[in-house]
Amino acid sequence: MKRVLLLSGLVLFSSIAAAEDIALETVEVESSTIEDMASDPKTEASTVNIIDEEKYEIIDPKNINEALRTIPGVTADVRSGDTVEIHIRGVNQQEFMWEDTGVAIVIDGVPVLQNGGKVKFNLDNIESIKVIKGGASYLFGPNAMAGAIIITTKKPKGRDDITVSADYGSYAYQNYKATLNHATEQYALILNGSYRYTNGYWDMTENSTGSGNGKLTWFLDDTSDITLGAEYTKKYEESSRGSVTGVTNAQIDPTGASDNDLPYNHNYDSDIQRYFLTYSKDLTDTDNLMVNGYYYVDRYTYESSPQDLNGDGIDDDWTRDNSEDTYQYGLKSEYRGVYQKLGYMLGLDIGQRELKDYYVRTVNYTSRGTDYYVGESSRDDTTEDRFGLYAETKYMVTNALAFILNGRYDYESYELDHLAKDYNGTDWSTDAITREDSFTNFSFRVGFTYQLDDSTTLYSNISSGFRNPRVYELYAFDFDPDRYSRNNPDIKTEKTYNYEIGIRGRRTVFDNKIGYELSVYQLDTKDIIAKNAGTYYSNGDVYFDNVGDARNRGLELSMKTDRSKPVYFDLSYTYLDAKYTSHDPFTVDLDPVYRSAGDITYDISNNRLPRTPKHVFDLYTYIPITAAPGWMIIAENYGQSGYYADETNLVEMPGYGIMNLQLRYNTKVKGNPFEFYLRCDNITDKQYYRTVYLFSDRNGDGQLDAEDASITVDPGRVYYVGLKYTF
């Protein structure tokens, strides 16, 4: 009888056994855009890494980067709060102002994309994270140029219990969580509630997150069920501050407290709602149908554009109220089955995304010779319609050799409606513009796996990804003639091609079973979309264009040892060489951005992409204390080499290494599980540079150097303590 509690249990198929035991008629396809499936490593042609529930709870991330940095090739740019930009294998690392990063984010089957590349996570509701690397548009369509992050939120556990926990730490950090699990023969339920708060290390960076969410799985019969998921999350961030200008300020004022200028954005309020309904039906022992409908809302308000209103050189107040709202809804369906030696999956993806950006001026002021008035406003409404068909086949040629082929067809249409209201001191004027465009794309993956022996798999694949130009990039002049000089409707789709070969398996070394995965790859980016003269250049003849190509080559290694041993570890290592193979002349303004004098042009072909360290490693070591049952020491050692702060490669930032320590205790209280932990991050109190951005002469001294960089300084040593009880 089927009575499993997790939706994935309805669709996971038995893994192919070791090479000599493989039965060809049992070949299955595990790929899915709806459900995070446990892929069979013996027939997986791509590099896939997983942070399971146990590892995620040990990491207990305070921001998502603390989890993602344990995966080779993945970086998350974090400034303050928990809004991040995620990059894989260095793709689009040159951009940092919330552009699309080429990474598909999927949460419980919902393809999440907030305005720009910003992604907001409810960290307390994550159960596991799966990362697919290399072009992944063959599954997820647009914006999966570098791969996909697949997040599964907490699922029913098939039991009746309540878990409560509380955490406290530096900078008034506090986190309270409660989870209820309930199950019967007919249904399984989980409900979660959480509240997280910190007043922040950096000046004006108080933030909080409150959330309520849950899942209900109803078993319709022995072969089918339906799952309803719902979440409501409310976030607050005091400001966008978190960086200071220049290495000198990073030393003397790392929090930015003495900065006379107000942060550009202030009082962020975000309301996130997410709903999905999934139907799953096992038609036979090997065939399954899934249908998933979803609705996602992110309403986002803040104030911005601080100004000096009285002429004393100090910002007085913010002058604009803003809203950025995202609405996503769609339907996905997948059918998978088996025919003799062939496993196959067919998928349909239909959806619409609406982005509504609005601002209104709230204060009269004059800036750089231009008068601005209360009531002036701008509204941009973007509608994206998507239709995708995709398929995967997996063919067992022999007991050891499998061929895998994926293909996806995408049609996307975009419409942008722009409405601006301006006042010239006498009369009001209205500017209304509508522009639209559409694109078709085909993405693919072709690969194979070969069993070298019972515990070793050789795998390889070639895959592709793409990102279409946005309407505002095609018609930039129409929407913002003060900033851009022309439209460019001939921008080509940006594409990636990933070439990869790897080996994975298990080996016994000195009576210790070691699981490993080692891959080497080349990821080519073609027709990068950016401003013609420089990523963030704003003077002169500026428009969007295809400006160049890049080639990212690397090696990625992950290892895990036997957790039953007295000491065990998890290791990840990344080597990355990311360079422009060609690029249009790159211009930098060596004076303040509102002047045209001092512009200088560089040839950046063969330069390294910014913020791409060549070497990154992360090592988790687990040491159970045998003399004190239930106690364990956990150490994380993380390090990375230096990197260039911008495309010119004029300014190089140093590498760093840190150590984090945990002491955990697990026992029973009245027969129920009880856990206590102490944690110290950055135990050596090293205030390294978390993230560095550089694109102009911000201090106006006529040269581009480290004093112009925007630097986020790590808080240094921080402490946490927490406990958890289940009853």
pLDDT digits (tens, 9 = 90+) for 509-542: 888 889 999 999 999 999 999 998 888 887 778 9
What's the pLDDT score for residue 698?
80
User: Which of 668, 664, 689 has its CA nearest to residue 677?
Assistant: 664
Q: Which residue has the higher pLDDT, 702 or 594?
A: 702
Mean pLDDT of the chain, nearest integer = 89
How high is the pLDDT of residue 34?
A: 75
Determine whether domain 7-157+171-726 maps to CATH 2.40.170.20. yes
Range name among 102-106, 258-262, 352-356, 490-494 with the lowest pLDDT average: 258-262
Average pLDDT on 659-680 reads 96
How far is residue 55's CA from residue 575's CA, in Å, rounded to a whole number?
23
For residue 185, what pLDDT is reported? Answer: 92
* Dihedral sign of CA atoms 570, 712, 152, 678 in order: positive
Token pair of 199, please? 């007043």
Residue with tokens 């320590």: 661
User: What is the rounded distance in angstroms from the CA atom of residue 411 to the CA atom of residue 347?
Assistant: 14
Query: Tokens standing for 694?
Result: 């550089």
pLDDT tens digits for 373-399?
999 999 999 999 999 999 999 999 999
Report, as an integer, the average pLDDT of 416-440.
94
What's residue 98's pLDDT?
Answer: 64
Contact in structure between 297 and 271 (CB atoms under 8 Å): yes
* Residue 669 burial by Cβ neighbours in a 10 Å radius (0-12, 13-18, 19+): exposed
Express each pLDDT in 40-98 by its tens digit. 788 899 999 999 998 999 998 888 889 999 999 998 777 666 667 889 999 988 877 66
Reply yes or no on whether the pLDDT at 361 is more than 70: yes
DSSP count for the chain of H helices, then E strands: 7, 39
Distance separating alpha carbons of residues 329 and 26, to the nearest angstrom: 35
pLDDT at 7 over 60: no
Q: Could you give the CA distance from residue 488 to residue 485 in angstroms, rounded to a whole number?
A: 10
Which residue, 514, 508, 505, 403, is CA-closest to 449?
403
| Res. 116 pLDDT band, cuts 50 70 90 | very low
Indicate the Cα dihedral angle 253, 257, 261, 263, nearest 10°.
Answer: 110
Binned at pLDDT 50, 70 and 90, residue 563 comes out as confident
Residue 443: is its pLDDT beyond 90? yes
Question: Does the pLDDT of residue 14 top 60, yes or no?
Answer: no
- Tell me what percent of the residues of the chain surpass a pLDDT of 70: 92
Looking at residues 269-297, what average pLDDT do you find?
94
Residues 210 and 339: their CA atoms lie apart, in Å, by 48
Predicted model pTM: 0.89
Least confident of 96-105, 112-121, 486-495: 112-121
Cβ–Cβ under 8 Å, residues 85 and 101: yes
Can you tell me the distance from the alpha carbon of 727 to that of 721, in angstroms, rounded to the nearest whole number? 21
Side by side, which strands form the sheet with 147-153? 48-51, 126-133, 147-153, 103-107, 110-112
Radius of gyration of the chain (CA): 26
